[in-house]
Amino acid sequence: MSTSHSFRLDGSLALITGGSKGLGLGIAKAMKEAGANVILSARDSAELTRTAADLDVPTAPIDLLDTAAIPAWYDALVDAHGRPDILVNSAGITRRAPAHELAIEDWNDVIALNQTAVFAVSQMFARHLIAAKAPGHIINIASLMTFAARRTTAAYTASKGAIGQLTKVLAVDWADKGILVNAIAPGFIDTDMNTALKNNPEFDAWIKVRTPLARWGDAEDIAAPAVFLASPAASFITGQVIYVDGGFTATF
């Protein structure tokens, strides 16, 4: 295969959770540009419909907090759109509070969406591929919190730490099935989730000093590595957590 084609996704079908905005949307756009057919999933049906109409792609709405509904939802998705061979687990939430004040309900929601739902969707993705004896790629969205921690992020940090290890164990479990599993750990990215932080002048200045490349990242900075990890060019990469953070974890 020529180098020019090894980074293409032509003929692939990519399912992207959290695909209506932020990193998920950026990845969806990049994968479609690289030749993939794309299915967007998110829980806000109205926002999802608007986004999908702009991209001219189908949707599979679901509130992934309802983890028990995932198997039936996934089976219906395959019946309606075909069997995905790329999965991007991008949906995520955070609830901030000092650990001693965090409501257990908030803890449970963050763990359910950021951790349990990632496993449940990945499991269904793999079951369909294994039954068909077909290869595939899973890309999980990890975080700087997979590596370290900040105050008031107990649930989020625990969930993203788990994503790092989940990525490794799924890669090992499914390597002989041809399913490659990797994670991208973004640094501080200019998305809706971080709007309050970016609008804080003191925090914004700290990020630009603390990050060697001296800026916030954007969705495109994450989208390009996602396309690479889903492409034939990454056929010998699995079980990795790749930090795309402007050098943040390289220094102190």
For 102-141, how does the pLDDT look when each residue is reduced to its tens digit (9 = 90+)? Answer: 999 999 999 999 999 999 999 999 999 999 999 999 999 9
Query: Whole-angstrom Cα distance, residue 199 to residue 186?
Result: 19
Using CA atoms, how far residue 212 sits from 58, 108, 164, 245, 247, in Å, is 39, 35, 24, 9, 5
How far apart CA 152 and CA 187 sit, in angstroms, is 17
Segments making up each domain of the chain, as ranges: 3-246
Share of the chain above pLDDT 90, in %: 94
Average pLDDT over residues 216-229: 97
Does the annotation count 243 as an active-site position? no
DSSP state of 189: B
Q: Give the model's confidence band at 59: pLDDT under 50 very low, under 70 low, under 90 confident, else very high.
A: very high
- Name every residue whose Cβ is closer than 8 Å to that of residue 241 and which is 6 or more positions away in sequence: 142, 146, 164, 167, 168, 182, 183, 184, 185
Confidence of residue 1 (pLDDT cuts 50, 70, 90): very low
Q: Is 167 exposed, middle or buried (0-12, 13-18, 19+ CB in 10 A)?
A: buried
* Alpha-carbon gap, residue 118 to 112, rounded angstroms: 9
User: 119, 125, 156, 174: which is the annotated catalytic residue?
Assistant: 156
Q: What is the CATH number of domain 3-246?
A: 3.40.50.720
Number of residues in the chain? 252
89: which residues sit within 8 A by CB, 6+ positions away? 17, 18, 117, 118, 121, 122, 138, 139, 140, 141
